[in-house]
Amino acid sequence: MEALKDKLESSFIVFENELNGHAQTPVHQKRRAAMQRFEDMGFPTKRDEEWKYTSLKPILKHDYRLFPNEENSVDFSQIKKYFLNDVDAYKLVFIDGVYSSWLSETTHERFDVCTFSSMLNKFSDVANEYFGQALPEYEALSSLNTAFAREGAFIRIKKSQAADKPIQVLFFTTEHGQEVMTQPRNLILLEENAEATITERHQSLSDKPVLTNSATEIFVERHARLCYHKIQNDNGQASLIDNTSIRQKGESSVTLGTYSFGNRFIRNNLNFFLDEEHCESHLDGITIGDDQQLIDHHTLVDHKVPHCYSNELYKGIYDDKAHGVFNGKVMVHPHAQKTNAFQQNNNVLLTDKASVDTKPQLEIYADDVACSHGCTIGQLDDQALFYLMTRGIARREAQALLLYAFANDGLRNVKLPELRKKLNRMIAKKLNVNLDFEL
Amino acid sequence: MLKINNLHASVEGTEILRGVNLEVKPGEVHAIMGPNGSGKSTLSSVIAGREDYEITQGNIQFEKEDLLDLGPDERAQKGIFLSFQYPVEIPGVTVTNFLKTSINELRKARGEEPLPANKLLKKMREKMGLLDMDKSFLSRSLNEGFSGGEKKRNEIFQMAMLEPKLGILDETDSGLDIDALRVVAKGVNTLRTKDNAIILITHYQRLLDHIEPDYVHVLSQGKIVKSGNKELALELEEHGYDWLKEPAV
Ligand SMILES: Nc1ncnc2c1ncn2[C@@H]1O[C@H](COP(=O)(O)OP(=O)(O)OP(=O)(O)O)[C@@H](O)[C@H]1O
Ligand SMILES: [Mg+2]
């Protein structure tokens, strides 16, 4: 851990030197402050309350290369399967942290779908106003990302515009003969009454361990509507730390779905800050872990003002020795009367060795609110399994049918048919069956 | 078709079936009656392949093949169907998706291609018509929130869809009103052919007015203590089971 920290500190100096004239910009001042915070806090350990179930040690022991020096090219045919099929979409594709224009499809016409770096160059007003304004400073890992923030997606949907196509953001890491760490940085801005659907995916094309420490800041202005879906289905060597923070203004609505099936390790730090009244926030998740996977969801919904609605539903299925964590914090501040906050985390364990730590954390300081939470950990229902099997359905398929039925309301806010289909197929594949679920 | 020899089954060390013998031939309808707790549902579950019961003695053959080594799914694939006394609620699985999976798994086991969606829907509509069921059931979660009678009707609907060789109906008549009973009986009767067989487990003569059995058996304390023709059912209706308990002289 210390070795990696040292390495990051020295490469920050190298990074600064490369900036030449840009080292004095407000953006870079924020990076420098973030680096300082990271240096002070260091990598989280199990002594941190927020990290007591999850150790970063096995992830951080590798000697990651921070900036791959040789550029690998990638053919579309190699990565086609990671895109949504049969749908016209804007695409932002990054290979080893570098923007790939020939694989991407961007626009500046009625709104902006381009890169974080071009935002820094072209729209310094946006950078100065929004960069670093959503991610909390107490997070060591998002601070680390902020320190190195230079490339990723920039999406700005302008006032009263609706993105005419879904937007796919994809980050690929290629084979470099050694471990690689990347830190993508995204900024999403929906202006008043704007609308968009965005998917995000990180995919390693390497057999070596890969660590992605991603950070995304999302600003949703009044009356704007955002659907954002994270597909976490990377290979068994890949680790992902996803830091995402969302700020919502009045009457806006955000759905954020997290679909975690792959990776050796996943940690999601997802924060919703509801800054004005009548916001609506939906947090959905389906997690299916097997083998030795560790998948950790930490969420925060921060109700600062009255009359907001949040609804969180996370479903987890754990097989083999997989381990899951769900820590859902809901803060209702003293002024936030008439808050409606619901949270539900349901888990199924398929073996004795699989486990899940689930911790709802409701802190309610207002009295006129409707809040509820529930968490369950159970096994598959033997009676139901027998019933299905007496209809000729083999055990594996019967089990998959029940698990799918258990998990699928996690897809309730996925409106894009192509994405639904893709997620359904991923679930079937993960459950090791070939069932055509939707008729 | 079905041959049960000296079947003993126990659960957690308690013997529930204590030497059941029964032979069912193609085209026959057998009624099994008997007091609560006598082992009727246990017998039907054991035939269908429930694993919670330990078979300590005896065997079951279906079309000359030993059943006890087969899982419930394989038995269904051989043509055995159990209509549950208490059908299980399965939230999130629609009746349509369930039947589609079931039918196609059965077809796969027979080496057939999956049934095209339009044919499947047509067949479903036809069978639902036969059983006087509303097609809104198709998109509902399996048995979830169904009334007692609706669950039973749904069991017979499944039987009609799956066309088994041997149907075991465990108290399908309980909880049905008179009209529903008539509809269900009609459904069962249309499935009767010379090649398939039915075992009816019931407490009431009234079902047997609609579906006439060839044989009536009384199961008591895990054994078939008396067998006869349909007249036996009338006798039971009149005198109850007590007279059977007295040791034969
Ligand atoms: N899984 C089990 N664990 C313990 N006891 C059981 C189990 N299954 C059945 N039994 C017992 O076995 C006996 C027979 O039960 P079964 O359900 O077969 O009776 P039945 O003849 O179907 O009764 P009914 O007419 O009430 O439906 C009962 O005493 C019951 O409590
Ligand atoms: Mg019974």
Residue A357 has what pLDDT?
Answer: 97
Query: What are the phi and psi torsion angles at A21 (to 5°)?
Result: -70, -15
Q: How far apart are the first and last CA of chain A?
A: 50
Amino acid found at B55: I
Tokens 């059977």 belong to residue: B244
pLDDT digits (tens, 9 = 90+) for A375-387: 999 999 999 999 9
Q: Which residues of A touch B (CB under 8 A)?
A: 381-384, 386-395, 397-398, 401-402, 404-406, 408-409, 435-439
Residue B183 has what pLDDT?
Answer: 86
Two tokens, residue B80: 């055995």
Beta-strand relationship, A210-220 and A180-182: parallel
Residue B44: C-alpha distances to residues A392, A427, B4, B53, B221 (Å): 16, 35, 12, 11, 15
Distance CA A125, CA A219 (A): 15
What are the pLDDT tens digits along chain A (439 aa)?
Answer: 789 999 999 999 999 998 877 778 999 999 999 999 999 999 999 999 999 999 999 999 999 999 776 778 899 999 999 999 889 999 999 999 999 999 999 999 999 999 999 999 999 999 999 999 999 999 999 999 999 999 999 999 999 999 999 999 999 999 888 999 999 999 999 999 999 999 999 999 999 999 999 999 999 999 999 999 999 999 999 999 999 999 999 999 999 999 999 999 999 999 999 999 999 999 999 999 999 999 999 999 999 999 999 999 999 999 999 999 999 999 999 999 999 999 999 999 999 999 999 999 999 999 999 999 999 999 999 999 999 999 999 999 999 999 999 998 999 999 999 999 999 999 999 998 876 655 3
Residue A24 has what pLDDT?
Answer: 85
- Closest C-alpha to B226, from B214, B234, B218: B218
Domain boundaries, chain B: 2-86+148-244
Q: Do A408 and B92 touch (CB under 8 A)?
A: yes
Span from the CA of B36 to the centroid of ligand 1 (angstroms): 8
pLDDT digits (tens, 9 = 90+) for B56-66: 999 999 999 99
Ligand 1 atom 16: residue of nearest CA: B39
pLDDT digits (tens, 9 = 90+) for B136-192: 999 999 999 999 999 999 999 999 999 999 999 999 998 889 988 998 898 889 888
Distance of CA A372 to the CA centre of its chain: 24
Residues 6+ apart with CB under 8 A from B170: B40, B41, B44, B82, B83, B84, B85, B201
Q: Do B102 and A392 touch (CB under 8 A)?
A: yes
Residue A436 has what pLDDT?
Answer: 62
- Closest C-alpha to A160, from A90, A234, A223, A85: A223
Q: Which ligand is nearest to the CA of B36?
A: 1
Burial of A25 (0-12, 13-18, 19+ CB in 10 A): middle
Residues 6+ apart with CB under 8 A from A315: A285, A286, A287, A345, A346, A347, A406, A407, A409, A410
Residue A19 has what pLDDT?
Answer: 84
- Closest C-alpha to B177, from B215, B149, B147: B149
Q: Does B157 touch chain A (CB under 8 A)?
A: no
Mean pLDDT of chain B: 92
Atom of ligand 1 nearest to the CA of B52: 1
Query: What are the phi and psi torsion angles at B138 (to 5°)?
Result: -60, -35
Span from the CA of A381 to the centroid of ligand 1 (angstroms): 19
Residue B248 scores a pLDDT above 70: no
Angle at CA of residue A156, ends A17 and A154, nearest 5°? 30
Q: Identify the band that residue B247 occupies on the pLDDT scale cut at 50, 70 and 90.
A: low
Residue A222 has what pLDDT?
Answer: 98
Interface of B with A in 108-137 (CB under 8 A): 109, 117
Distance CA A220, CA A20 (A): 34
pTM of the entire structure? Answer: 0.90
Fold of B2-86+148-244: Rossmann fold (3.40.50)
Instruction: Decide: A252 and A281 in contact? Cβ < 8 Å.
Output: no
Ligand 1 atom 2: residue of nearest CA: B11
Distance CA A328, CA A285 (A): 12
DSSP state string for B185-215:
HHHHHHH--SS-EEEEE-S-HHHHHHS--SE
Instruction: Decide: A397 and B101 in contact? Cβ < 8 Å.
Output: yes
Q: Do A395 and B84 touch (CB under 8 A)?
A: no
Residues 6+ apart with CB under 8 A from B125: B135
Burial of B192 (0-12, 13-18, 19+ CB in 10 A): middle
Residue B219 scores a pLDDT above 60: yes
Instruction: Decide: B49 and B56 in contact? Cβ < 8 Å.
Output: no
Q: Is B109 in the pocket of ligand 1 (CB under 6 A)?
A: no
Amino acid found at A378: G
Q: Do A401 and B76 touch (CB under 8 A)?
A: no
Output the CA torsion sign for A119, A120, A125, A127: positive
Burial of B207 (0-12, 13-18, 19+ CB in 10 A): buried
Residues 6+ apart with CB under 8 A from A85: A418, A421, A422
ipTM: 0.95
Check residue A139 and report its DSSP letter: -
Span from the CA of B219 to the centroid of ligand 1 (angstroms): 12
Two tokens, residue A9: 């500190």
Q: Do B71 and A405 touch (CB under 8 A)?
A: no
Other CB atoms within 10 A of residue B162 CB: 17
Residue B249 scores a pLDDT above 50: no
